[in-house]
């Protein structure tokens, strides 16, 4: 049994994470993420490079006025430029202006970089490192030294790479972080280099791994086995090129598999929400199959697996999903059998025992709809409505007589969208119209306007996400599209689906399912 070692977590989502394609964060976004990382119990939050752009400087000003319980905010920058002495280097001065308790400073440890990019001698580079760190230490900062390209540098010249670390150590660096900047080092090589480095240094070691070979998580774990006690990574593995070590995989591995301590034990169940929160702020979609935190991480599809999981979840789950705030799911697809449909229905509190004879019909209908492009895995609201209709427990709330949606644009530029709708509720016809920001929004508004006097409760519901996926891409703009709508009201969240070659029709299906689902829930809770 290993001992409960403490590992320091250094998050660089706000700095290295934003180097990822499609990841862009405003100062406000960064502050919101930093507050969540602090609540989660992260030790260091690298906020940006104050010397590089005004947005990052703004973040440090805002962070300086905020309170953090657990986390130290860190400013990032490079060693002094060869042209300046440390005191006068504009980059080092910007780092001090950021007014953070800790500073992370990177230096080159690969001769190739020193000679081809910095265009200075290896000896000059060593004094750049030493001077810069000594200067920052003299101003009372905690200094984290990032040895950029350490592993590539070490393979090229282990002697020189080690000299850069020793220069940092001599100057008083608090941590020496070994960076696999290109992400190209394989796990066993990395383990050996960390082991050899550990023997020749005295300051705590850290690891900063990139995922270009698909090994960032494994490399981080093995580095900890070899003695690193400071880990750099990002939420969801965002970062340059293929990203950084994903802290949402690293932390639960270290904490559950190795029994090390990274964040307070009671906070670990926040992990899934934290991961989703950061994805939402960064406005990128979450891959379903993310380890630990992905929507599919504990999802079972094949009938045999579902059957086994119902007997004992350990058969196909490596940890209890609740430990990381995730949960078990059973998927409905053409690989599903009766087990899946029954499990799913049970989860939704639909009692299928009374309707045993209808189960094959339900399975069949689901398979036909999936063939047409519907997907119920992510649209449980539509699934529930469908099953309830098929077993006769649900009728339509309204009857559509017709709608027309128009978008007009002229030379003046801005387009205008209008929808008219005619529908019937309990024999009463309503005919109305609305304008909107776009055709779907106009239709949504007209539909709500027509329904609200019959069902005033729908005022409370909101559409929180609207996704469109083209199914048969080869058909270009004439392709079939699937629309997924996520809705919310108070604490209730649900998703619905529509499929058509016409985006308005597909949106209509998902919209009406969304409203019907909500009305059905209200009706049931009023029972």
Contacts of 396 (CB under 8 A, 6+ apart): 516
Q: Which residues within the stretch 250-269 sit at the binding site for a copy of itself (CB under 8 A)?
A: 250, 253, 257-258
Q: Which of 3, 22, 65, 426 binds a copy of itself (CB under 8 A)?
A: 22
Contacts of 462 (CB under 8 A, 6+ apart): 487, 488, 489
According to the binding rule CB under 8 A, does residue 157 interact with a copy of itself? no
According to the binding rule CB under 8 A, does residue 112 interact with a copy of itself? yes
Listed ranges 134-142, 200-208, 270-278, 463-471: which one lies at the site for a copy of itself (CB under 8 A):
463-471
Residue 294 gets which letter from DSSP?
Answer: S
What is the DSSP code string of 192-259? HHHHHHHHH--SPEEEEEB-TTS-HHHHHHHHHHTT--EEEEBGGG--STT-B-BHHHHHHIIIIIS-
Contacts of 252 (CB under 8 A, 6+ apart): 268, 271, 292, 319, 323, 324
According to the binding rule CB under 8 A, does residue 490 interact with a copy of itself? no
Nearer to a copy of itself, 138 or 315 (CB): 315
Can you tell me the distance from the alpha carbon of 343 to that of 334, in angstroms, rounded to the nearest whole number?
A: 15
CB atoms within 10 A of CB 494: 22
Q: Which residues within the stretch 40-69 sit at the binding site for a copy of itself (CB under 8 A)?
A: 52-53, 55
Q: Which residues within the stretch 276-295 sit at the binding site for a copy of itself (CB under 8 A)?
A: 280, 283, 287-292, 294-295
Nearer to a copy of itself, 77 or 206 (CB): 77
User: Are residues 391 and 384 in contact, defined by beta-carbon separation less than 8 angstroms?
Assistant: no
Q: Which of 92, 511, 515, 519 binds a copy of itself (CB under 8 A)?
A: 511
Q: Which of 168, 223, 299, 306 binds a copy of itself (CB under 8 A)?
A: 299
Can you tell me the distance from the alpha carbon of 330 to that of 88, in angstroms, rounded to the nearest whole number?
A: 61
Q: Binding residues for a copy of itself, how many (CB under 8 A)?
A: 128
First to last CA, the chain: 54
Nearer to a copy of itself, 52 or 170 (CB): 52
Tell how far CA 405 is from the center of its chain: 36
According to the binding rule CB under 8 A, does residue 335 interact with a copy of itself? yes
Q: Which residues within the stretch 170-199 sit at the binding site for a copy of itself (CB under 8 A)?
A: 181-184, 186-188
Q: Which residues within the stretch 409-428 sit at the binding site for a copy of itself (CB under 8 A)?
A: 409-411, 415, 417
- Shortest approach of a copy of itself to residue 46 CB, angstroms? 14
Listed ranges 35-43, 269-277, 312-320, 344-352: which one lies at the site for a copy of itself (CB under 8 A):
312-320
According to the binding rule CB under 8 A, does residue 365 interact with a copy of itself? no
Closest CA relative to residue 270, chosen from 483, 108, 42 = 42
User: Are residues 173 and 203 in contact, defined by beta-carbon separation less than 8 angstroms?
Assistant: yes
Nearer to a copy of itself, 140 or 214 (CB): 214
Q: Which residues within the stretch 207-226 sit at the binding site for a copy of itself (CB under 8 A)?
A: 211-215, 217-219, 221-222, 225
Q: Which of 458, 479, 489, 492 binds a copy of itself (CB under 8 A)?
A: 479
User: Are residues 73 and 100 in contact, defined by beta-carbon separation less than 8 angstroms?
Assistant: yes
Closest CA relative to residue 147, chosen from 188, 197, 196, 187 = 197
Q: Which residues within the stretch 130-149 sit at the binding site for a copy of itself (CB under 8 A)?
A: 149
- Shortest approach of a copy of itself to residue 271 CB, angstroms? 13
Q: Which residues within the stretch 69-108 sit at the binding site for a copy of itself (CB under 8 A)?
A: none
């Amino acid at each position: 049994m290993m001992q409960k070692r403490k590992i320091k977590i250094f998050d660089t989502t706000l700095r290295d994470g934003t180097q990822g394609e499609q990841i862009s964060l405003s100062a406000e976004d960064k502050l919101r993420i930093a507050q969540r990382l602090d609540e989660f119990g992260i030790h260091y939050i690298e906020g940006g490079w104050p010397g590089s752009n005004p947005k990052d400087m703004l973040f440090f000003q805002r962070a300086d006025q905020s309170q953090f319980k657990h986390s130290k905010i860190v400013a990032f920058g490079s060693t002094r430029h060869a042209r300046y002495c440390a005191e006068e280097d504009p980059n080092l001065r910007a780092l001090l202006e950021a007014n953070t308790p800790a500073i992370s400073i990177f230096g080159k440890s690969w001769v190739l970089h020193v000679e081809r990019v910095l265009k200075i001698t290896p000896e000059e580079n060593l004094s750049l490192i030493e001077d810069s760190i000594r200067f920052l230490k003299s101003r009372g900062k905690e200094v984290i030294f990032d040895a950029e390209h350490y592993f590539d540098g070490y393979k090229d010249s282990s002697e020189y790479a080690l000299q850069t670390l020793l220069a940092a150590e001599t100057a008083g660096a608090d941590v020496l972080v070994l960076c696999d900047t290109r992400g190209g080092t394989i796990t066993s090589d990395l383990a050996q280099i960390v082991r050899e480095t550990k023997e020749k240094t005295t300051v705590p070691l850290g690891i900063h791994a990139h995922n270009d070979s698909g090994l960032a998580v494994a490399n981080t774990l093995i580095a900890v086995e070899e003695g690193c006690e400071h880990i750099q990574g990002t939420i969801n593995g965002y970062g340059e090129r293929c990203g950084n070590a994903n802290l949402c995989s690293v932390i639960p591995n270290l904490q559950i598999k190795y029994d090390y301590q990274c964040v307070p034990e009671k906070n670990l169940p926040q992990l899934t929400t934290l991961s989703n929160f950061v994805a939402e702020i960064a406005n990128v979609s979450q891959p379903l199959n993310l380890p630990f935190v992905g929507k599919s991480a504990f999802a079972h599809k094949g009938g045999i697996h579902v059957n086994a999981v119902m007997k004992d979840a350990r058969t196909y789950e490596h940890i209890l999903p609740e430990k990381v705030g995730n949960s078990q799911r059973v998927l409905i697809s053409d690989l599903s059998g009766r087990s899946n449909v029954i499990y799913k229905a049970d989860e939704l509190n639909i009692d299928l025992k009374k309707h045993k004879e209808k189960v094959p019909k339900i399975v069949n209908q689901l398979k036909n709809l999936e063939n047409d492009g519907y997907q119920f895995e992510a649209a449980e609201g539509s699934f529930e409505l469908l099953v309830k209709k098929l077993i006769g427990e649900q009728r339509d709330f309204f009857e559509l007589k017709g709608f027309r949606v128009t978008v007009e644009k002229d030379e003046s530029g801005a387009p205008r969208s209008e929808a008219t709708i005619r529908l019937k509720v309990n024999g009463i016809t309503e005919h109305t119209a609305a304008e909107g920001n776009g055709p779907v929004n106009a239709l949504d508004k007209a539909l709500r306007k027509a329904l609200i006097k019959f069902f005033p409760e729908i005022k409370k519901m909101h559409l929180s996400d609207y996704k469109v996926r083209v199914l048969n891409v080869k058909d270009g703009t004439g392709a079939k599209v699937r629309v997924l709508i996520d809705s919310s009201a108070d604490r209730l969240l649900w998703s619905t689906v529509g499929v058509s070659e016409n985006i308005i029709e597909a949106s209509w299906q998902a919209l009406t399912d969304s409203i019907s689902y909500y009305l059905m829930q209200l009706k049931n809770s009023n029972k």
